[in-house]
Structure 1
Amino acid sequence: MSLRICILETDHIRPELVERYQGYGRMFEQLFERQPVPASFEIFNVVEGHYPPAGERYDAYLVTGSKADSFGSDPWIAPLKAFLLARYNEGAKLLGVCFGHQLLALLLGGKAERAHQGWGVGTHQYSVGAKASWMAPAADGLTLLISHQDQVTALPEGATVVASSAFCPFAAFQLNDQVLCFQGHPEFVHDYSRALLELRQMNLGEQVYKAAVDSLVHDHDGATVAEWMMRFVAQGK
Protein backbone atom coordinates (compact mmCIF):
# COMPACT_ATOMS: atom_id res chain seq x y z
CA MET A 1 0.00 0.00 0.00
CA SER A 2 1.31 3.44 -0.93
CA LEU A 3 0.90 6.27 1.57
CA ARG A 4 -0.70 9.52 0.43
CA ILE A 5 1.07 12.54 1.88
CA CYS A 6 -0.10 16.16 1.66
CA ILE A 7 2.82 18.61 1.70
CA LEU A 8 1.82 22.05 2.96
CA GLU A 9 4.48 24.35 1.54
CA THR A 10 4.92 27.42 3.76
CA ASP A 11 7.37 29.50 1.74
CA HIS A 12 8.93 30.23 -1.63
CA ILE A 13 12.64 29.60 -1.90
CA ARG A 14 14.96 32.42 -2.91
CA PRO A 15 14.45 33.39 -6.59
CA GLU A 16 18.08 32.74 -7.49
CA LEU A 17 17.71 29.12 -6.25
CA VAL A 18 14.39 28.23 -7.91
CA GLU A 19 15.82 26.98 -11.20
CA ARG A 20 17.94 24.36 -9.48
CA TYR A 21 15.80 23.42 -6.45
CA GLN A 22 12.23 24.40 -7.52
CA GLY A 23 10.74 24.58 -4.02
CA TYR A 24 10.55 22.96 -0.61
CA GLY A 25 7.74 20.66 -1.70
CA ARG A 26 9.83 19.30 -4.54
CA MET A 27 12.85 18.92 -2.24
CA PHE A 28 10.74 16.77 0.09
CA GLU A 29 9.49 14.68 -2.83
CA GLN A 30 13.08 14.01 -3.87
CA LEU A 31 14.00 13.11 -0.30
CA PHE A 32 11.13 10.67 0.20
CA GLU A 33 11.75 9.03 -3.16
CA ARG A 34 15.04 7.78 -1.71
CA GLN A 35 13.48 5.89 1.21
CA PRO A 36 11.85 2.44 0.97
CA VAL A 37 8.26 3.05 2.16
CA PRO A 38 6.01 3.57 -0.91
CA ALA A 39 4.37 7.00 -0.89
CA SER A 40 2.88 9.59 -3.20
CA PHE A 41 2.74 13.33 -2.61
CA GLU A 42 0.62 16.36 -3.40
CA ILE A 43 1.97 19.86 -2.76
CA PHE A 44 -0.13 22.88 -1.76
CA ASN A 45 1.46 26.29 -1.22
CA VAL A 46 -0.48 27.71 1.72
CA VAL A 47 1.24 31.12 1.44
CA GLU A 48 -0.69 31.45 -1.83
CA GLY A 49 -3.85 30.15 -0.15
CA HIS A 50 -3.79 26.71 -1.77
CA TYR A 51 -5.23 23.78 0.22
CA PRO A 52 -6.58 20.32 -0.60
CA PRO A 53 -10.21 20.20 -1.81
CA ALA A 54 -12.79 20.02 0.98
CA GLY A 55 -13.27 16.44 2.10
CA GLU A 56 -9.99 15.19 0.62
CA ARG A 57 -8.04 13.18 3.19
CA TYR A 58 -4.43 11.98 3.32
CA ASP A 59 -2.44 9.55 5.44
CA ALA A 60 -0.42 12.50 6.77
CA TYR A 61 0.06 16.25 6.40
CA LEU A 62 3.62 17.63 6.36
CA VAL A 63 4.31 21.29 7.17
CA THR A 64 7.57 22.56 5.62
CA GLY A 65 10.11 25.11 6.74
CA SER A 66 9.68 28.84 6.16
CA LYS A 67 11.47 32.13 6.68
CA ALA A 68 8.36 33.27 8.58
CA ASP A 69 8.16 33.05 12.36
CA SER A 70 5.77 30.39 13.64
CA PHE A 71 4.61 32.91 16.24
CA GLY A 72 4.28 35.68 13.64
CA SER A 73 1.21 37.42 12.28
CA ASP A 74 1.60 36.74 8.55
CA PRO A 75 -1.96 36.58 7.17
CA TRP A 76 -1.63 33.00 5.89
CA ILE A 77 -0.57 31.55 9.27
CA ALA A 78 -3.97 31.73 11.02
CA PRO A 79 -5.79 29.78 8.25
CA LEU A 80 -3.00 27.18 8.30
CA LYS A 81 -3.32 26.75 12.07
CA ALA A 82 -7.09 26.34 11.74
CA PHE A 83 -6.63 23.74 8.99
CA LEU A 84 -4.06 21.77 11.01
CA LEU A 85 -6.11 21.87 14.20
CA ALA A 86 -9.10 20.49 12.31
CA ARG A 87 -6.98 17.66 10.90
CA TYR A 88 -5.51 16.93 14.35
CA ASN A 89 -8.98 16.77 15.90
CA GLU A 90 -9.99 14.31 13.18
CA GLY A 91 -7.07 12.08 14.20
CA ALA A 92 -4.87 12.77 11.15
CA LYS A 93 -1.13 12.32 11.38
CA LEU A 94 0.90 15.53 11.25
CA LEU A 95 4.58 15.98 10.39
CA GLY A 96 6.56 19.19 10.86
CA VAL A 97 10.00 20.40 9.84
CA CYS A 98 11.66 23.60 11.15
CA PHE A 99 8.82 26.18 10.91
CA GLY A 100 6.37 23.26 10.82
CA HIS A 101 7.98 21.75 13.94
CA GLN A 102 7.58 25.06 15.77
CA LEU A 103 4.06 25.78 14.49
CA LEU A 104 2.71 22.37 15.51
CA ALA A 105 4.32 22.71 18.95
CA LEU A 106 2.62 26.09 19.38
CA LEU A 107 -0.71 24.89 18.02
CA LEU A 108 -0.85 21.96 20.43
CA GLY A 109 0.02 23.89 23.59
CA GLY A 110 3.80 24.27 23.52
CA LYS A 111 5.92 27.36 23.00
CA ALA A 112 8.23 28.64 20.24
CA GLU A 113 10.23 31.86 20.22
CA ARG A 114 13.40 33.56 19.03
CA ALA A 115 16.28 31.53 20.44
CA HIS A 116 18.75 33.26 22.75
CA GLN A 117 21.37 30.86 21.35
CA GLY A 118 21.25 32.73 18.05
CA TRP A 119 21.30 31.26 14.56
CA GLY A 120 21.64 27.53 14.07
CA VAL A 121 23.23 26.89 10.66
CA GLY A 122 25.33 24.26 8.90
CA THR A 123 25.26 20.71 10.22
CA HIS A 124 24.31 19.89 13.79
CA GLN A 125 24.54 16.71 15.86
CA TYR A 126 21.72 15.46 18.11
CA SER A 127 21.37 12.65 20.60
CA VAL A 128 18.41 10.36 20.04
CA GLY A 129 16.70 9.67 23.36
CA ALA A 130 13.68 7.65 22.28
CA LYS A 131 13.08 4.12 21.06
CA ALA A 132 10.17 3.17 18.83
CA SER A 133 9.37 0.54 16.22
CA TRP A 134 9.16 3.18 13.48
CA MET A 135 12.73 4.32 14.19
CA ALA A 136 14.30 2.05 11.60
CA PRO A 137 17.11 2.14 10.83
CA ALA A 138 17.97 2.56 14.51
CA ALA A 139 20.31 5.41 15.46
CA ASP A 140 21.68 6.77 18.74
CA GLY A 141 22.41 10.12 17.11
CA LEU A 142 21.46 12.22 14.11
CA THR A 143 23.35 14.79 12.06
CA LEU A 144 21.08 17.18 10.18
CA LEU A 145 21.44 20.32 8.11
CA ILE A 146 19.84 23.26 9.92
CA SER A 147 18.90 26.88 9.30
CA HIS A 148 16.89 28.52 12.10
CA GLN A 149 16.91 31.36 14.61
CA ASP A 150 13.72 30.27 16.42
CA GLN A 151 13.27 27.21 18.60
CA VAL A 152 10.62 25.24 20.46
CA THR A 153 11.14 26.16 24.13
CA ALA A 154 8.27 24.17 25.67
CA LEU A 155 6.65 20.99 24.38
CA PRO A 156 2.92 20.29 24.21
CA GLU A 157 1.60 18.33 27.17
CA GLY A 158 2.25 14.62 26.71
CA ALA A 159 4.92 15.08 24.02
CA THR A 160 8.11 13.01 24.07
CA VAL A 161 11.56 14.30 23.12
CA VAL A 162 12.95 12.25 20.23
CA ALA A 163 16.24 14.13 19.63
CA SER A 164 18.09 16.87 21.48
CA SER A 165 21.32 18.78 21.91
CA ALA A 166 22.62 21.40 24.31
CA PHE A 167 22.01 24.01 21.60
CA CYS A 168 18.50 22.75 20.78
CA PRO A 169 16.95 20.72 23.63
CA PHE A 170 13.67 20.01 21.80
CA ALA A 171 15.11 19.22 18.37
CA ALA A 172 12.51 16.54 17.62
CA PHE A 173 9.36 15.45 19.38
CA GLN A 174 6.52 12.95 19.13
CA LEU A 175 2.98 13.41 20.41
CA ASN A 176 1.37 10.00 20.83
CA ASP A 177 1.10 8.22 17.46
CA GLN A 178 -0.19 11.32 15.70
CA VAL A 179 2.50 14.04 15.52
CA LEU A 180 6.22 13.83 14.66
CA CYS A 181 8.37 16.94 14.19
CA PHE A 182 12.02 17.81 13.55
CA GLN A 183 13.82 21.14 13.85
CA GLY A 184 16.49 20.09 11.34
CA HIS A 185 15.98 19.93 7.57
CA PRO A 186 16.13 16.35 6.26
CA GLU A 187 15.21 17.64 2.78
CA PHE A 188 18.22 19.97 2.49
CA VAL A 189 21.32 19.00 0.54
CA HIS A 190 24.77 20.40 1.19
CA ASP A 191 24.85 22.61 -1.90
CA TYR A 192 21.54 24.22 -0.97
CA SER A 193 22.75 24.87 2.58
CA ARG A 194 25.97 26.37 1.23
CA ALA A 195 24.02 28.66 -1.11
CA LEU A 196 21.77 29.81 1.77
CA LEU A 197 24.80 30.53 3.92
CA GLU A 198 26.37 32.66 1.20
CA LEU A 199 23.13 34.64 0.78
CA ARG A 200 22.88 35.20 4.54
CA GLN A 201 26.57 35.76 5.27
CA MET A 202 26.15 39.42 6.26
CA ASN A 203 23.28 38.62 8.64
CA LEU A 204 25.09 35.72 10.26
CA GLY A 205 28.41 37.41 10.94
CA GLU A 206 31.78 36.05 9.86
CA GLN A 207 32.37 33.73 12.82
CA VAL A 208 29.00 31.95 12.60
CA TYR A 209 29.20 31.84 8.80
CA LYS A 210 32.68 30.29 8.74
CA ALA A 211 31.85 27.66 11.39
CA ALA A 212 28.73 26.70 9.46
CA VAL A 213 30.56 26.38 6.14
CA ASP A 214 33.29 24.30 7.81
CA SER A 215 30.62 21.99 9.29
CA LEU A 216 29.39 21.06 5.80
CA VAL A 217 32.20 18.50 5.54
CA HIS A 218 29.94 16.20 7.59
CA ASP A 219 27.36 13.90 5.99
CA HIS A 220 23.78 14.21 7.22
CA ASP A 221 21.03 11.76 8.12
CA GLY A 222 18.14 13.21 6.15
CA ALA A 223 17.39 9.85 4.53
CA THR A 224 17.08 8.22 7.97
CA VAL A 225 14.66 10.90 9.16
CA ALA A 226 12.63 10.52 5.95
CA GLU A 227 12.29 6.78 6.53
CA TRP A 228 11.34 7.36 10.18
CA MET A 229 8.62 9.77 9.10
CA MET A 230 7.11 7.39 6.59
CA ARG A 231 7.28 4.44 9.01
CA PHE A 232 5.63 6.62 11.66
CA VAL A 233 2.80 7.36 9.24
CA ALA A 234 2.53 3.74 8.10
CA GLN A 235 2.27 2.23 11.59
CA GLY A 236 -1.26 1.07 12.31
CA LYS A 237 -2.26 1.16 8.63
Structure 2
Amino acid sequence: MKICVLDNDVIDPEVAPTYTSYGAMFERLLGAAGAHDWSFDRFDTMQGQYPASFDDYDAVLLTGSRADSFSQAPWVLALRAQVVLLLQARKKLLGICFGHQLIALCMGAKVGRAPQGWGTGRMTYQWHNHPLSQPQDRTEISLLASHQDQVLELPEGATLLASNAFCPVAAFVVEQHVLCVQPHPEFVEDYSAFLLGKRRALLGEALYIRSIDSLALGHDGAQMARMMVAFVEGT
Protein backbone atom coordinates (compact mmCIF):
# COMPACT_ATOMS: atom_id res chain seq x y z
CA MET A 1 0.00 0.00 0.00
CA LYS A 2 1.22 3.47 -0.90
CA ILE A 3 -0.17 6.28 1.27
CA CYS A 4 -0.15 10.02 0.61
CA VAL A 5 0.00 11.96 3.88
CA LEU A 6 -1.20 15.55 3.68
CA ASP A 7 0.51 17.05 6.74
CA ASN A 8 -1.47 20.10 7.81
CA ASP A 9 0.53 21.57 10.67
CA VAL A 10 4.01 21.95 12.13
CA ILE A 11 4.78 20.47 15.53
CA ASP A 12 6.07 22.83 18.21
CA PRO A 13 9.90 23.08 18.01
CA GLU A 14 10.13 22.12 21.68
CA VAL A 15 8.93 18.58 20.97
CA ALA A 16 9.67 18.26 17.24
CA PRO A 17 12.88 16.27 17.90
CA THR A 18 10.74 13.61 19.59
CA TYR A 19 7.64 13.53 17.38
CA THR A 20 8.90 15.01 14.05
CA SER A 21 5.47 15.70 12.51
CA TYR A 22 1.87 14.53 12.65
CA GLY A 23 2.52 12.55 9.50
CA ALA A 24 5.46 10.80 11.15
CA MET A 25 3.32 10.04 14.20
CA PHE A 26 0.82 8.31 11.91
CA GLU A 27 3.53 6.33 10.18
CA ARG A 28 4.66 4.95 13.54
CA LEU A 29 1.10 4.27 14.70
CA LEU A 30 -0.04 2.50 11.53
CA GLY A 31 3.20 0.54 11.27
CA ALA A 32 2.66 -0.79 14.78
CA ALA A 33 -0.94 -1.62 13.82
CA GLY A 34 0.07 -3.96 11.03
CA ALA A 35 0.85 -1.71 8.06
CA HIS A 36 4.31 -3.23 7.68
CA ASP A 37 4.46 -3.17 3.89
CA TRP A 38 3.00 0.32 3.50
CA SER A 39 5.03 3.22 2.16
CA PHE A 40 4.31 6.85 3.01
CA ASP A 41 4.96 10.11 1.19
CA ARG A 42 4.46 13.26 3.27
CA PHE A 43 3.47 16.65 1.82
CA ASP A 44 3.40 19.96 3.71
CA THR A 45 0.11 21.52 2.61
CA MET A 46 0.83 24.75 4.49
CA GLN A 47 3.70 25.21 2.03
CA GLY A 48 1.55 24.25 -0.93
CA GLN A 49 3.14 20.83 -1.38
CA TYR A 50 1.10 18.13 -3.14
CA PRO A 51 1.96 15.10 -5.25
CA ALA A 52 2.02 15.61 -8.99
CA SER A 53 -0.76 13.04 -9.12
CA PHE A 54 -2.78 11.13 -6.54
CA ASP A 55 -3.31 8.25 -8.95
CA ASP A 56 -0.41 6.18 -7.63
CA TYR A 57 -1.69 6.23 -4.05
CA ASP A 58 -3.99 3.68 -2.46
CA ALA A 59 -5.21 6.21 0.12
CA VAL A 60 -4.77 9.81 1.24
CA LEU A 61 -4.51 10.70 4.94
CA LEU A 62 -5.26 14.23 6.16
CA THR A 63 -3.72 15.06 9.54
CA GLY A 64 -4.89 17.41 12.23
CA SER A 65 -4.05 21.11 12.38
CA ARG A 66 -4.43 24.11 14.69
CA ALA A 67 -6.10 25.86 11.71
CA ASP A 68 -9.86 25.99 11.14
CA SER A 69 -11.13 23.79 8.34
CA PHE A 70 -13.49 26.64 7.39
CA SER A 71 -10.66 29.18 7.30
CA GLN A 72 -10.22 31.42 4.27
CA ALA A 73 -6.43 31.09 4.46
CA PRO A 74 -5.12 30.43 0.95
CA TRP A 75 -3.50 27.11 1.86
CA VAL A 76 -6.75 25.84 3.45
CA LEU A 77 -8.76 26.89 0.40
CA ALA A 78 -6.26 25.06 -1.82
CA LEU A 79 -6.53 21.95 0.36
CA ARG A 80 -10.32 22.01 0.23
CA ALA A 81 -10.18 22.23 -3.57
CA GLN A 82 -7.94 19.15 -3.64
CA VAL A 83 -10.25 17.23 -1.29
CA VAL A 84 -13.31 18.02 -3.41
CA LEU A 85 -11.52 16.45 -6.39
CA LEU A 86 -10.47 13.43 -4.32
CA LEU A 87 -14.05 12.91 -3.16
CA GLN A 88 -15.30 13.14 -6.73
CA ALA A 89 -12.72 10.53 -7.74
CA ARG A 90 -13.77 8.33 -4.80
CA LYS A 91 -10.17 8.12 -3.63
CA LYS A 92 -9.89 6.36 -0.28
CA LEU A 93 -9.55 9.10 2.38
CA LEU A 94 -8.63 9.07 6.06
CA GLY A 95 -9.31 12.28 7.99
CA ILE A 96 -8.25 13.06 11.55
CA CYS A 97 -9.47 16.06 13.60
CA PHE A 98 -8.95 18.99 11.18
CA GLY A 99 -8.89 16.45 8.34
CA HIS A 100 -12.17 14.94 9.59
CA GLN A 101 -13.75 18.40 9.71
CA LEU A 102 -12.42 19.48 6.33
CA ILE A 103 -13.67 16.36 4.55
CA ALA A 104 -17.11 16.79 6.16
CA LEU A 105 -17.15 20.43 5.08
CA CYS A 106 -16.29 19.44 1.52
CA MET A 107 -19.20 16.99 1.64
CA GLY A 108 -21.57 19.84 2.50
CA ALA A 109 -21.88 19.34 6.27
CA LYS A 110 -21.84 22.16 8.81
CA VAL A 111 -18.55 22.59 10.70
CA GLY A 112 -17.82 25.19 13.36
CA ARG A 113 -16.79 25.96 16.91
CA ALA A 114 -17.91 23.35 19.41
CA PRO A 115 -20.65 25.05 21.45
CA GLN A 116 -19.31 23.45 24.64
CA GLY A 117 -15.79 24.81 24.14
CA TRP A 118 -12.58 22.81 23.96
CA GLY A 119 -12.62 19.01 23.86
CA THR A 120 -9.42 17.81 25.53
CA GLY A 121 -7.87 14.80 27.20
CA ARG A 122 -9.22 11.28 27.08
CA MET A 123 -12.79 11.18 25.82
CA THR A 124 -15.06 8.16 25.59
CA TYR A 125 -17.49 7.72 22.72
CA GLN A 126 -20.34 5.34 22.02
CA TRP A 127 -19.29 3.02 19.19
CA HIS A 128 -22.10 2.34 16.75
CA ASN A 129 -22.40 -0.99 14.99
CA HIS A 130 -20.37 -1.14 11.78
CA PRO A 131 -18.40 -3.97 10.14
CA LEU A 132 -14.95 -2.57 10.89
CA SER A 133 -12.59 -4.46 13.19
CA GLN A 134 -13.94 -3.02 16.45
CA PRO A 135 -14.84 -6.08 18.58
CA GLN A 136 -18.57 -6.64 18.42
CA ASP A 137 -18.91 -6.91 22.19
CA ARG A 138 -17.51 -3.39 22.72
CA THR A 139 -19.90 -0.47 22.73
CA GLU A 140 -17.39 2.30 23.59
CA ILE A 141 -14.04 3.58 22.40
CA SER A 142 -11.76 6.04 24.24
CA LEU A 143 -9.33 8.31 22.39
CA LEU A 144 -7.27 11.43 23.08
CA ALA A 145 -8.88 14.65 21.88
CA SER A 146 -7.72 18.21 21.29
CA HIS A 147 -10.17 20.41 19.37
CA GLN A 148 -12.27 23.53 19.59
CA ASP A 149 -14.05 22.93 16.24
CA GLN A 150 -16.15 19.95 15.30
CA VAL A 151 -18.50 18.54 12.69
CA LEU A 152 -21.97 19.79 13.61
CA GLU A 153 -24.02 17.44 11.42
CA LEU A 154 -23.47 14.09 9.78
CA PRO A 155 -22.58 14.52 6.10
CA GLU A 156 -25.13 13.28 3.61
CA GLY A 157 -24.52 9.64 2.73
CA ALA A 158 -22.27 9.03 5.77
CA THR A 159 -22.74 6.40 8.48
CA LEU A 160 -22.10 7.48 12.07
CA LEU A 161 -19.41 5.43 13.82
CA ALA A 162 -18.84 7.18 17.14
CA SER A 163 -20.53 9.89 19.19
CA ASN A 164 -20.98 11.30 22.66
CA ALA A 165 -22.89 14.22 24.18
CA PHE A 166 -19.94 16.58 23.68
CA CYS A 167 -19.19 15.53 20.08
CA PRO A 168 -22.22 14.00 18.33
CA VAL A 169 -20.24 13.32 15.13
CA ALA A 170 -16.98 11.91 16.48
CA ALA A 171 -16.36 9.49 13.61
CA PHE A 172 -18.07 8.55 10.37
CA VAL A 173 -17.57 6.38 7.32
CA VAL A 174 -18.78 6.72 3.75
CA GLU A 175 -19.04 3.31 2.12
CA GLN A 176 -15.53 2.01 1.42
CA HIS A 177 -13.83 5.30 0.58
CA VAL A 178 -13.98 7.74 3.53
CA LEU A 179 -13.13 7.18 7.21
CA CYS A 180 -13.00 10.24 9.46
CA VAL A 181 -12.27 10.55 13.19
CA GLN A 182 -12.43 13.68 15.35
CA PRO A 183 -10.06 12.63 18.19
CA HIS A 184 -6.42 11.67 17.68
CA PRO A 185 -5.48 7.97 17.59
CA GLU A 186 -1.88 9.02 16.85
CA PHE A 187 -1.50 10.96 20.12
CA VAL A 188 0.35 9.51 23.08
CA GLU A 189 -0.16 10.66 26.65
CA ASP A 190 3.05 12.70 26.82
CA TYR A 191 2.18 14.66 23.69
CA SER A 192 -1.35 15.34 24.93
CA ALA A 193 0.10 16.54 28.24
CA PHE A 194 2.44 18.89 26.36
CA LEU A 195 -0.45 20.44 24.41
CA LEU A 196 -2.52 20.79 27.56
CA GLY A 197 0.36 22.56 29.27
CA LYS A 198 0.72 25.00 26.37
CA ARG A 199 -3.01 25.83 26.58
CA ARG A 200 -3.40 25.74 30.35
CA ALA A 201 -4.35 29.40 30.72
CA LEU A 202 -6.67 29.24 27.72
CA LEU A 203 -8.45 26.12 28.97
CA GLY A 204 -8.81 27.21 32.58
CA GLU A 205 -7.53 25.33 35.59
CA ALA A 206 -10.55 23.05 36.09
CA LEU A 207 -10.55 21.71 32.51
CA TYR A 208 -6.77 21.46 32.48
CA ILE A 209 -6.65 19.35 35.67
CA ARG A 210 -9.55 17.14 34.55
CA SER A 211 -7.93 16.57 31.16
CA ILE A 212 -4.47 15.84 32.60
CA ASP A 213 -5.94 13.37 35.10
CA SER A 214 -7.84 11.58 32.32
CA LEU A 215 -4.60 10.67 30.52
CA ALA A 216 -3.79 8.09 33.20
CA LEU A 217 -6.84 6.02 32.14
CA GLY A 218 -5.36 4.84 28.83
CA HIS A 219 -6.87 5.03 25.36
CA ASP A 220 -7.72 2.94 22.30
CA GLY A 221 -5.49 4.62 19.72
CA ALA A 222 -3.94 1.28 18.74
CA GLN A 223 -7.38 -0.26 18.23
CA MET A 224 -8.47 2.68 16.07
CA ALA A 225 -5.26 2.33 14.05
CA ARG A 226 -6.04 -1.33 13.36
CA MET A 227 -9.45 -0.28 12.08
CA MET A 228 -7.80 2.29 9.81
CA VAL A 229 -5.44 -0.35 8.42
CA ALA A 230 -8.34 -2.76 7.82
CA PHE A 231 -10.33 -0.01 6.13
CA VAL A 232 -7.53 0.89 3.72
CA GLU A 233 -6.76 -2.74 2.95
CA GLY A 234 -10.43 -3.61 2.55
CA THR A 235 -10.28 -6.47 5.04
Q: Which TM bucket (shorter chain)?
A: over 0.9
Contact 2:128 2:160 in 1 (8 A): yes
1:190 aligned partner = 189
Amino acid at match of 2:3: I
TM norm structure 2: 0.95
**Distance 1:30-1:220 versus aligned 2 partners, 3 A rule:** same
Deviation sequence 1:175-222 (CA, Å, 0-9, x none): 121111000100000000001111110111101101000101111111
Which residue of 2 is the match for residue 201 of structure 1? 200
- Cα separation, 2, equivalents of 1:12 and 1:224: 26
Corresponding residue for residue 11 of structure 1? 9
Measure, in 2, the Cα distance between the counterparts of 1:29 and 1:71.
Answer: 27
Structure 1 CA distance for aligned equivalents of residues 90 and 205 of structure 2:
46
Superposition RMSD in Å = 1.3
**2:177 aligned partner, one-letter code:** Q
The alpha-carbon deviation at position 36 of structure 1 amounts to 1.8
Bigger drift between 94-103 and 76-85 goes to 76-85
- Output the CA distance in 1 between the equivalents of 2:19 and 2:135: 27
1:17 and 1:81, CA in 2 relative to 1: closer, same or farther beyond 3 A?
same
Q: Specify the alignment match of 2:225 in structure 1.
A: 226
Q: Give the SS at the match of 2:85.
A: helix
Kept in 2, the 8 Å contact 1:127–1:165? The answer is yes
- 1:78 corresponds to which residue? 77
Q: Would you say the 8 A contact 1:105–1:112 is kept in 2?
A: yes
Amino acid at match of 1:197: L
**Which amino acid is 1:194 matched to?**
A
Using structure 1 for the length normalisation, give the TM-score.
0.94
Instruction: Determine the structure 2 residue equivalent to 1:151.
Output: 150
Specify the code of the residue in structure 2 equivalent to 1:9: D
Matches of 1:44 and 1:169, distance apart in 2:
31
Q: Following superposition of structure 1 onto structure 2, how do residues 63-102 of structure 1 map, counting pairs within 5 Å?
A: 63-102=62-101
Q: Is the 8 A contact 2:71 2:77 kept in 1?
A: no
1:32 maps to amino acid: L
Deviation track 1:101-136 (CA, whole Å, cap 9, x = no partner) reads 00000001111100111101110001101221x324
Q: Deviations over 1:36-83 (max 9, x none)?
A: 244221111101111112364211101000000111111101111111
**Which 5+ residue runs of structure 2 have no aligned equivalent?**
none
For residue 210 of structure 2, give the secondary structure of its aligned residue in structure 1. helix
Matched, 1:27 2:12: no
**How many pairs align?**
233
